[in-house]
């Protein structure tokens, strides 16, 4: 009888908790929220963070304050060790997917120490050739690289970035030999490609589209699984003989592991609404990014697959950022 009463009481408490989520979740947020950003002011991640913070402030009635915390490892470590109360969040970028593959030791576990909230936006890169290379399609580039192994160069903003790893993935899958020329920043790398000093680059479509439209540069492919709404006429690498190819720059909202699920769900609902509203979705598309706003489970699966893909590439392609 006592056991029976305990079971009944347990079920009653469970139903009460389900119907009445914690007061903290119902009233959240009651104070300003810190939004950690793994980038200095002015870059794409910072701009994305500030747009999202402004809209979340308007929606939830509390300030979301952007905190630029330097590099990805430092910012991610700060987030992992913050109280799991919903008042410290991070707008992570795709570097948290590549770092586990590129770095032997990290002061956090990317899959264990965070609560996914939502994938905010996904920004494909575009593989671009200077017209002097004499190729108009990805197939022609691969043929040229096989005919001239080790003689065709490509530029990147710095080792380990999305443009570098995207080209290394293409090299590995296509079995070609391209020479990596790293720069200190995207602007000088792109300037040398535009001048014909280096003939290839994989970079954001936003600054490159005017030169592609004018014919000075040729877009060979975008790196995302599907064509981007920012440039729907450019085919993907995946549809051009490499169906498993996928690479992009992405932005996701995450929290420390253990953050109450009700707070995670509330934030997810607001982020999904914000990124799908014309004010933000049009802004993202203008920046060359596709708005997403998916759920925590989808983001968790996406992050796991991203880490596994880059680990496989780094190991089998013998890639080093040093």
DSSP 8-state class, residue 319: -
- pLDDT tens, position by position, 176-208: 999 999 998 888 999 999 999 999 999 888 778
- Cβ-in-10-Å burial (0-12, 13-18, 19+) of 173 comes to middle
Same domain, 118 and 253: yes
Same domain, 137 and 239: yes
Give the whole-angstrom CA distance, residue 183 versus residue 186: 7
Contact 164, 156 (CB under 8 A): yes
Tokens of 262: 């009700």
CATH number at 192 reads 3.40.190.10
Phi, psi of 314 (to 5 degrees): -65, -40
Query: Is residue 140 over pLDDT 60?
Result: yes
Asked, for residue 57, whether it belongs to a domain, the answer is yes
> Which of 217, 246, 275 is where one domain is finished?
246
Same domain, 229 and 143: yes
Asked, for residue 9, whether it belongs to a domain, the answer is no
The domain of 85 spans: 31-123+248-314
Give the whole-angstrom CA distance, residue 248 versus residue 225: 9
Which residues are paired to 201 by β-bridges?
128, 155
Same domain, 109 and 206: no
Query: Is residue 114 over pLDDT 90?
Result: yes
pTM, rounded to two decimals: 0.82
* Maximal CA-CA distance, the chain: 86
Asked, for residue 322, whether it belongs to a domain, the answer is no
Asked, for residue 55, whether it belongs to a domain, the answer is yes
Asked, as a colleague might, if the bond just before 29 is cis with ω within 30 of 0, I would say yes
Query: Is residue 262 over pLDDT 80?
Result: yes
């Amino acid at each position: 009888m006592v056991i029976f009463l305990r079971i009944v009481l347990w079920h009653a408490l469970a139903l009460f908790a389900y119907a009445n989520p914690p007061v903290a979740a119902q009233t959240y947020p009651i104070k300003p929220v810190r939004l950690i950003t793994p980038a200095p002011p002015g870059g794409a991640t910072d701009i994305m963070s500030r747009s999202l913070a402004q809209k979340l402030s308007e929606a939830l009635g509390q300030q979301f304050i952007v905190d630029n915390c330097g590099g990805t490892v430092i910012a991610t470590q700060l987030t992992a060790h913050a109280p799991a109360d919903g008042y410290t969040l991070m707008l992570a970028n795709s570097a948290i997917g590549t770092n586990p593959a590129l770095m032997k030791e990290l002061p956090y576990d990317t899959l264990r120490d965070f609560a996914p909230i939502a994938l905010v936006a996904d920004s494909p890169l575009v593989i671009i050739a200077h017209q002097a290379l004499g190729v108009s399609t990805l197939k022609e580039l691969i043929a040229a690289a096989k005919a001239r192994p080790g003689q065709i160069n490509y530029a990147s903003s710095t080792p380990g970035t999305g443009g570098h790893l995207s080209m290394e993935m293409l090299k590995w899958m296509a079995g070609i030999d391209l020479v990596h020329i790293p720069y200190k920043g995207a602007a000088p790398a792109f300037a040398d490609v535009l001048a014909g000093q280096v003939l290839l680059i994989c970079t954001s479509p936003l600054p490159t589209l005017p030169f592609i439209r004018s014919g000075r540069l040729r877009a060979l492919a975008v790196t995302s699984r599907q064509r981007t709404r920012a440039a729907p006429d450019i085919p993907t690498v995946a549809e051009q003989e490499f169906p498993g190819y996928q690479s992009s720059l992405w932005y996701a909202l995450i929290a420390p592991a253990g953050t109450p699920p009700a707070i995670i769900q509330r934030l997810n609902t607001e982020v999904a609404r914000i990124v799908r509203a014309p004010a933000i979705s049009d802004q993202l598309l203008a920046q060359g990014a596709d708005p997403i706003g998916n759920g925590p489970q989808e983001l968790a699966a996406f992050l796991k697959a991203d880490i596994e893909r880059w680990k496989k590439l780094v190991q089998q392609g013998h890639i080093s950022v040093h």
